[in-house]
Chain A
Amino acid sequence: DQQVKQNSPSLSVQEGRISILNCDYTNSMFDYFLWYKKYPAEGPTFLISISSIKDKNEDGRFTVFLNKSAKHLSLHIVPSQPGDSAVYFCAASGFAYGGATNKLIFGTGTLLAVQP
């Protein structure tokens, strides 16, 4: 049973427009959420995170929104650039869930293609 879901396997946007990547979770014990970017044959690169005490976190072109009541988070990339083309993974963790392990539960990823 998947606890972190990314229901869109792929997304295509034009350069300069906004990319919105979505993620849903089912376990209310998660209290920390992260987004990673991954190129083929490379390891994931950390992008941005958000704690459950916030509903928004910004870092440059990247903004993550958290809606706890809906158990939903999204990553906004504005403006999108061709170099943003990669697979984006949503991940969740929580002390109540994993204890001191801080283990991450990942979604299946969304392949973003930014067209020039």
Chain B
Amino acid sequence: EADIYQTPRYLVIGTGKKITLECSQTMGHDKMYWYQQDPGMELHLIHYSYGVNSTEKGDLSSESTVSRIRTEHFPLTLESARPSHTSQYLCASKGYYNEQFFGPGTRLTVL
């Protein structure tokens, strides 16, 4: 079983605010990922990390940024939230095998 956590689970915030979505895993996985999903759509990779101090942009362009200072922690930050950022954000990590394990997600609404 995967132990990967995301906070907050739900966030409603006004335009222009800075937000940070937290993601932590206790499995010691090197590879971590952020996906974005809109209702009825597929998940799109927006960021990934091979390990500490490694971050890369994913397939879907995103105004968010990420950091990886510790193996277990992979936060995502939006400097100035806009209504177009309203979505579900899903964090995942990968161990030895090809399966990625997902956290519960953060549903973000920007008013």
- Neighbour of B59 across the interface among A44, A91, A103, A109, CB < 8 A: A103
Alpha-carbon gap, A49 to B98, bound state (A): 9
Alpha-carbon gap, A43 to B3, bound state (A): 12
- Residue B85 lies at the interface, judged by CB distance under 8 Å to chain A: no
B101–A46 CB distance below 8 A: yes
If the complex has contacts A42-B105, A103-B33, are A93 and B98 also in contact, measured as CB distance less than 8 A?
yes
Q: What is the predominant secondary structure among interface residues of chain B facing chain A?
A: strand
Chain A: residues with Cβ within 8 Å of the partner, total of 25
Alpha-carbon gap, A44 to B56, bound state (A): 22
Q: Scoring B residues 81 to 98 as 1 if CB is less than 8 Å from chain A, else 0, what string do you get? A: 000000010111010001
B102–A106 CB distance below 8 A: no
Closest to B100 in A: A104
- Taking Cβ atoms with an 8 Å cutoff, the residues of B that contact A are 2, 4, 6, 9, 31, 33, 40-45, 48, 50, 56, 58-59, 88, 90-92, 94, 98-105, 107
Please name 28 pairs of A and B residues whose Cβ atoms are closer than 8 Å in the assembled complex, sorted by A. A2-B42, A4-B42, A34-B100, A36-B102, A41-B105, A41-B107, A42-B104, A42-B105, A43-B4, A43-B92, A45-B102, A46-B2, A46-B99, A46-B101, A49-B98, A49-B99, A89-B43, A91-B43, A101-B31, A101-B56, A102-B98, A103-B48, A103-B58, A103-B59, A104-B43, A106-B42, A108-B40, A109-B42
